A and B are shown apart, each in its own frame.
Chain A
Amino acid sequence: MKFKLKRVEVQSRKDMEMIDITDHVQSAVSDAGVCNGLVFVSTSHTSSGLLVTEGIECLERDVLAHLERLAPKEPPPGTYGYWHNRYLDFDGRLGFNAGDHLKSILGGIQCFFPVEDGKLVRGGRQRVYFVEYDGPLARTVLIQVLGEEC
């Protein structure tokens, strides 16, 4: 059994953004020297996500808009507020991004795919996305390949 972990830095450029990282996952699989097994992908940040969906811009917009409706950055004035809106003494700053943490929970932070004959196995329309909910920031994505050595 072989385990290979790759850390990829992704620079988000907007407040909210879906960044296609399928090629990173593909190359991590190719470089790992694993014939048959799994690839596991995860974001290491709690205000970002990892999603699999079809790679078209209209759908990217819909995903972000829907998550923003479910967990808005700023709830409408006079409706409700987040408990997270307070000073965090361990961080030296205020929270106030509960909506972005909630999007991360709703959308998820991980995905995995089979590896067969040294190749990533995925549906023809499936793309792997790093999802930024509170950017721009330099973020780290973890790609772990595990399985039988070639």
Chain B
Amino acid sequence: MHSGGIDFHTHPLLVREMVQRYPGLQAAARDIFHIGNTFQPLETFLLELDAAGLERAVILPVDAGSTRGAKLYSNEQIAELCALSDRLIGFASVDPLDPCAPQVLQKAVNGLGLRGLKLAPGMQEFHADDPKVFPLYERAAQLGIPILFHSGMSWEPGSRLKYGHPLRFEDVAAKFPELKIVLAHLAWPWVTDAVALALKYPNVHLDTSALYFDNPRDFLQFAMNTQVPLTVFERSLRKQILFGSNYPRVEIKNMARAVRGLGFSDECLDLVFRANAEALLGGAQ
């Protein structure tokens, strides 16, 4: 157990209460996100956190309105879901190429109380280092909120890997040193490149929500001990690693067990499961 632990990467796409209120979320889950599991009561989500020994979860939307014709939760729906449980931490999403995106983000943070921004370059079809998106980064930095980028491979149909390469995030990290950046999924398969970015840029963080073959235990041993030695994460990046599960593609309990089994020190596990997430979220207005 990690008291106060946070799962920094979940998608609320299977929450039954929200699908009953907004039937369009069913098609978003099935056809856009591409998840086939049964819809579950919110209670199951919270029990998943209990089973993993965690207290809270960041819930992530994706505004894919202009590329897929739907939002995987609007900012308002995220706020509505957060109102059902104080264990949920809502992030916003915006269309990054919409000139109004900075204002939409500001409204989501100041008006709805959302505490970060999720962007998915593959699903939203933009390159993270496109200067047209820079005003959005500037606004996020001013607001003091983190941006969690999908990076690496994506399972969603139609999402291309080219948008997820970690080197597309270097200009962003360099030009916006105050911006708190999280690269999700260890940017797998480019874990070495993602680690290089995090080593060079202290504002770059990595989340552990990576599972592309085998099981969580064996995959994370490969990605976080074979591709890059665990000592690199422990000694050099211990304040830049966040626990994330990618629930419901993977159960939180399974990813938590896998991360705890990697061989990190207790001090490092507390950073990964709690303190680093709290530090990132602490600056939200």
**Chain A residues with a Cβ under 8 A of chain B:** 11-15, 74, 77, 81-82, 85-88, 90-94, 96, 134-138
Contacts and interface: CB of A to CB of B under 8 A. Distances in A.
Interface string B235-255: 000000000000011110110
20 contacts: A11-B47, A77-B217, A81-B214, A81-B218, A85-B214, A85-B218, A87-B155, A87-B213, A91-B37, A92-B33, A93-B35, A93-B36, A93-B250, A94-B249, A136-B44, A137-B38, A137-B44, A138-B40, A138-B41, A138-B43
A74 B260 CA distance: 15
B44 A138 contact: yes
A11 B213 contact: no
Contacts of B16: 138
Given A90-B36, A94-B250, 5 more contacts: A11-B41, A87-B155, A93-B248, A96-B216, A138-B43
Given A92-B33, A96-B215, A137 B40 contact: yes
B51 A14 contact: yes
Contacts of B251: 134
B223 interface: no
B79 interface: no
A65 B41 CA distance: 28
Contacts of A91: 35-37
B155 A92 contact: yes
A85 B213 contact: yes
Q: Considering residues A14, A81, A94, which has the most beta carbons from chain B within 10 angstroms of its beta carbon? A: A94
Nearest to B43: A11
Given A86-B213, A92-B155, A11 B35 contact: no
A139 B162 CA distance: 39
A99 B28 CA distance: 31
Contact of B211 (A11, A15, A81, A94): A94
B48 interface: yes
Contact of B44 (A11, A86, A88): A11
Given A85-B213, A93-B249, A13 B36 contact: no
Given A92-B34, A92-B35, A96-B254, A136 B217 contact: no
Interface in B258-272: none
Contacts of B43: 11, 138
Interface in B194-250: 211-218, 248-250
Contacts of B218: 77, 81, 85
Given A11-B44, A138-B41, A85 B215 contact: yes
A74 B217 contact: yes
A9 to B, nearest CB: 9
A88 B254 CA distance: 17
A91 B251 CA distance: 14
The 4 closest A-B pairs by CB, nearest first: A136-B47, A96-B215, A92-B34, A91-B36
Contacts of B34: 92
